[in-house]
Amino acid sequence: MNWFIITTNNCNLFCRYCQNEPHPYLPIKPSWNVEELKKFISNDEDPIISFYGGEPLLNIENIQEVMDNVPVEHYTIQTNGLLLHKLPLENLKKLSTILISLDGDEEITDQNRGKGIYRKIIKNIKDIRLRGFRGDLIARMAVSESSDIYNNVLHLLNSKELTFDHVHWQIDCQWDEGIESRWKNFQGWLEGYNKGISKLVEYWLDEMKKGETRGIVPFLGIFKNILKETKTSLPCGAGLDSFAIRTDGKITFCPLPPEYEKSVVGDIQTSTPSSVMNSALITEPCIECEVFDLCGGRCLFANLYKLWGKEGFGLVCRTVKHLIKELKGIKEEVVYLIENGIINPDDLDYPNYNNTTEIIP
């Protein structure tokens, strides 16, 4: 199972889509002790620990203490990257995956996250590479109304300064009530987004024809099931086998947003991993959808709360259906490339553990 550890509710940035608003009734740092966490996770046969925040590196001491006392096969972290240079080498090398929040090129990243952020991240990526980080380095984009999905993904994928292994993204939607709260014209923007996805799939296929399978996470995560003709449950595992441990010790089915008490499914003092497993499930309308076997429901929180109403929920679903349709459309050509030894099918088998990429944008 995957366990998001919320090391702090504080953040050192004021991004346009977040505004750095820690939740007033939750402790800033964990009120539980590491022995309690160790006892709880020891009952999980195959645990993964994923450090999360706020900005998790604002509490490096907690990360160190967990790593020193709670051994697991994979540690991951989602970070804005500004404090990576402060993470001790011993802890850096234990990380299997680092996801760095970056929205595209310098202009859009600094527009969303603050002036100079892009260059600081480049500096810290060079630092962790020089210090020996050899795990999976993932750019994690927040896609907003100013995003150009095609150009932003290609920039992150191809930049020689950034050296990302993979690129993933999530559309900034359905986290608060009303489309108007974050978007001027969401429906109009979707048309350009879907066209960008089509161009990106075409690029991905062209690269495979040259013998290279590029690390576009949503494409890889969906296409492996198209190729194998297998069904998926909710890819991120929220409510199934992936949960967050808040700073107060309560367990929620997802690390975002923690203020919804209905997301609480237990706590590390009185619950066990098996008692919370499969405790929150996708419901209508997703389970009757024609792409459910490949999508799995996209987002448990959005499915359960539907903050944008039925119409807004449906608009987001259109992006998923379009993405799946485009990927299905290249299946025969990819099979040909595999059968003729141009690409290795193993390169399409990603991820092979829960690295906290939700797969469905």
Domain-embedded: residue 38: yes
Q: How many domains does the chain have?
A: 1
pLDDT tens by residue, 69-78: 999 999 999 9
pLDDT tens by residue, 136-179: 999 999 999 999 999 999 999 999 999 999 999 999 999 887 78
DSSP states along 158-220: H-TTT--SEEEEEE--SSSS-GGGT-S-HHHHHHHHHHHHHHHHHHHHHHHHTT----BHHHH
pLDDT tens by residue, 239-282: 999 999 999 999 999 998 777 888 999 999 999 999 999 999 99
Domain-embedded: residue 354: no
pLDDT value of position 212: 98
Residue span of the structural domain in which 89 resides:
2-348
Domain-embedded: residue 355: no
Q: State the CATH number of the domain containing residue 239.
A: 3.20.20.70
Residue 250: what are its φ and ψ, rounded to 5°?
Answer: -80, 150
At 25, is the pLDDT very low, low, confident or very high (cuts 50, 70, 90)?
A: confident
Domain-embedded: residue 357: no
Task: Order the strands of the 95-101 sheet from edge to edge.
Answer: 166-171, 136-143, 95-101, 74-79, 48-52, 2-6, 242-245, 250-252, 264-267
pLDDT value of position 177: 79
Domain-embedded: residue 144: yes
Domain-embedded: residue 361: no
Q: Which two tokens stand for residue 204?
A: 């991905």
Domain-embedded: residue 340: yes
Q: Is 158 exposed, middle or buried (0-12, 13-18, 19+ CB in 10 A)?
A: exposed
pLDDT value of position 19: 63
Domain-embedded: residue 12: yes
The single residue listed with the structure tokens 């485009």 is 326
At 180, is the pLDDT very low, low, confident or very high (cuts 50, 70, 90)?
A: confident
